[in-house]
Amino acid sequence: MKKALDLFSLATLLMLSLVQALFTPNTNIKIYHANTLLISPFSPTSQLSWEHTVLQMQSNDNARLHYLSSRASARPIVPIAAGMTITHNPSYIVRARIGTPPQTLLMAVDTGNDASWIPCTGCLGCSATSFDSAKSSTFRTLPCDATQCSQVPSSSCGGATCGFNWSYGGSSFSANLVQDAVGLTSNPIAGYTFGCVQTAKGTSLPPQGLLGLGRGPLSLTSQTSELYQSTFSYCLPNLKSANFTGSLKLGPENQPKKINCTPLLRNERRSSLYYANLTAIKVGRHVVCIPPTAFAFNPSTGGGTFFDSGTMFTSLVKPAYTAVRDELRRRMGNATLSSLGGFDTCYTVPIVVPTITFMFPDMNMTLHQDNFLIRSSYGTTSCLAMMAAPDNVDSEVNVIGSFQQQNQRIVIDELNSRVCVSREPCSKLPRLPARTQLSWQDTVLQMQSNDKARLLYLSSLVAGRSIVPLASARAVVQNPTYIVKAKIGTPAQTLLMAVDTSNDAAWVPCTGCVGCSSTTYNSAKSSTFKPLKCGAAQCSQVPNPSCDGATCGFNMTYGSSAVTATLVQDNVTLATDSIHGYTFGLYRSTFSYCLPSYKSVGFTGSLRLGPNSQPLRIKTTQLLKNPRRSSFYYVNLMAIRVGRRVVNIPPSAFAFDPNTGAGTVFDSGTVFTSLVKPAYTAVRDEVRRRMGNATVSSLGGFDTCYSVPFNVPTITFMFSGMNVTLPQDNFIIRSSSSTISCLAMAAAPEGNVNSVLNVIASFQQQNHRILIDVPNSRLGVAREPCS
């Protein structure tokens, strides 16, 4: 059945900044680790070991880092995800009393965010604990003409109340802008402006809200500058101290009198972050050799170092991390080295390095072992609790995480433009009821995972880049493609759209469509919607245009389906940046994408738009042009290597021929790589030869499956000027229990035009950065673990 669809020309949609807040005079506020309190919504509900807890926090940090990279400024990058939602739990929380009479919520504190928000009663998708505004005599909504309405992201004014949309980690929410009394101690703050969340999607939002402590103009610090002179400090207790609390101190009079400080640096592209000039790192008494470029502050790229309470483990640019790690390993001599998740330096014997020191102008931050080693429950295993920044856009950013900040007083003195650090054992405070703990191993991996996502966000945020989350549609919408969240119309309506490098046009199902899904776009609700007339230039660019009336229509096929559509324009937003006049496919521009594993359900990959958002170092090969199939990204595949052996394939199997369509293309819409029969047979037979006498079986279209481990480490596609080496995760697909593994490629179908076409598909592209640079006629590939 044909479907009535609308093809979109993407017009401008502006994304604004965040919410305004007001606070109280000098005061000490209790601050808790999120997993420690019996009453904390972030705590695990079942009995889990410390190992499990550490891994969970690693995973949380991964989501966190991704969130941070997706909140960017100027240069466009669109985040992509595979379908599994990433867990994103905040590290530390404070008690906040909202309204009159007060209702208590445990809000996450975050130095990397400016705005505050809480879940309100009636919210769809929020936690059970929420704020009931109907019970507060001081609650009021803000109208559309309020000054604050122009300061929130994606503001909408469909009614009298100002609303806005925002994303956090792999989640998103819609909120109304409101004001009410907020108390952190006995003195409530009147007229505190925050978001009252109405709908939430995803599992990564802090369950009871967030208190923004960032550096930007809408943060607590800026909005209370007259009260606190833009000064506050915090001390984070040890994450294993389930029974102790730290403190948040507001105002200059509450701060230590004797403390070393270093200047704060200002990045105008991302004013929220607390940058400082890290100049060197000392392991024990030895200053390790790190090039100055590793620490260089660069507002244009986001390079530099900043303090962040939401990232758990410190992340250093690769040269810096490698130097620190190698010096620690050198001091450990011949002790047996192991790894745990993202931690690559673990030992079962005592670590002999007493301290690691971060050296800033006029200030040294000396870390004792509790600040750079993470230990198992029984102390049998210890790991260096730092990691290298991911090898992508984040590689220029150093983040001093909360693990390294524990039991230190961190003073932010914006008035005098300085950050100060002094040792303070703030874990030694009155005991609270103990809470169950996660296992160490799972917790470490969880925290590493969250840190990775957090760094993605941070780096794009500081460099002024935009990222839109992308997911595996198999997990989200039961479709074997990749998807992005698109906001369409005014006010915005959210749809999950498939991304396809082999199609030019964008289209969505519209309300009233016959044969479409239940989720559609209602054009009648958009004030910026307009159909295109038959005389519009775009009407001549769509397939099979028809102009029986005044509106341009067209017909097209997709796979085995067919659609009938009307050509229209409306506002579409993929990231925080606007895209103006985007009518047809990405083939006319420079962009890149990284597809996460199809098993990853969170929005962890990314689609980056524009030449300034791309990797600086990436190997490329020439793009070939086929006028008959101008949408396809053809390249010159020359050979294939299985392990270290180049298999015998006739050159005709790879020959590019525009007349027949023969050659090799990269395609994100195809799941498994398809090779012309001579090429596939040669690759398959070499794999089988290496497997010896192991019993071979088949599974559907996969004819080379085994119940024993594959002994082929890599398969390499060899192009002119570029080799793409696939590890096993890119050419072997395993059953859920890992009892059966299959070669995840197939022979091109016989008897049709596709029998001469090699397709490098999404399974083989996963965890690689694929660069499409049409102006320079090149395609690049670099390994990037975006899962």
Selection from 508, 542, 539, 543 nearest residue 526 by Cα: 508
- The sign of the CA dihedral 688, 691, 695, 697 is negative
**Residue 58, CB-side half-sphere exposure with 13 Å CA sphere:** 25
Say if residues 577 and 74 touch (Cβ distance below 8 Å). yes
Say if residues 394 and 387 touch (Cβ distance below 8 Å). no
3-class secondary structure, 617: coil
Say if residues 200 and 124 touch (Cβ distance below 8 Å). yes
Burial of 30 (0-12, 13-18, 19+ CB in 10 A): middle
Helices vs. strands in the chain: H and E counts, helices first? 10, 56
Selection from 269, 274, 352, 266 nearest residue 306 by Cα: 274
Selection from 643, 663, 667 nearest residue 653 by Cα: 663
Burial of 366 (0-12, 13-18, 19+ CB in 10 A): middle
Sequence-distant (≥ 6) Cβ neighbours of residue 261 within 8 angstroms: 362, 363, 411, 413, 418, 419, 420
Residue 742's DSSP bridge partners are: 705, 733
Measure Cα distances from 44 to 36, 37, 54, 404, 435 in Å. Answer: 9, 10, 12, 23, 8
Place of tokens 């809200």: 209
Q: How many CB atoms lie within 10 A of CB 485?
A: 25
- Vertex 119 angle, CA 56 and 86, to 5°: 30
Question: What is d(CA 347, CA 381) in angstroms, rounded to the nearest whole number?
Answer: 6
What single letter denotes the amino acid at residue 458?
A: L
Contacts of the segment 555-562: beta carbons below 8 A, 24+ positions apart? 555/2, 556/505, 558/503, 561/3, 562/2, 562/3
Q: How many CB atoms lie within 10 A of CB 581?
A: 10
Selection from 282, 293, 266, 278 nearest residue 395 by Cα: 293
Say if residues 314 and 302 touch (Cβ distance below 8 Å). no
Catalytic center residues: 110, 308
Sequence-distant (≥ 6) Cβ neighbours of residue 549 within 8 angstroms: none
Selection from 78, 68, 75, 769 nearest residue 463 by Cα: 75
Question: What is d(CA 391, CA 322) in angstroms, rounded to the nearest whole number?
Answer: 13
**Residue 258, CB-side half-sphere exposure with 13 Å CA sphere:** 1
Selection from 400, 414, 499 nearest residue 455 by Cα: 400
Question: What is d(CA 48, CA 435) in angstroms, rounded to the nearest whole number?
Answer: 10
Sequence-distant (≥ 6) Cβ neighbours of residue 343 within 8 angstroms: 374, 383, 384, 385, 387, 444, 448
**Residue 465, CB-side half-sphere exposure with 13 Å CA sphere:** 35
Interstrand relation of 314-316 and 386-388 (parallel, antiparallel or unpaired): parallel
Give all strands of the β-sheet with 338-340 in edge-to-edge order: 338-340, 343-347, 382-384, 373-375
The string of DSSP codes covering 239-256 is TT-TT--EEEEESGGGS-
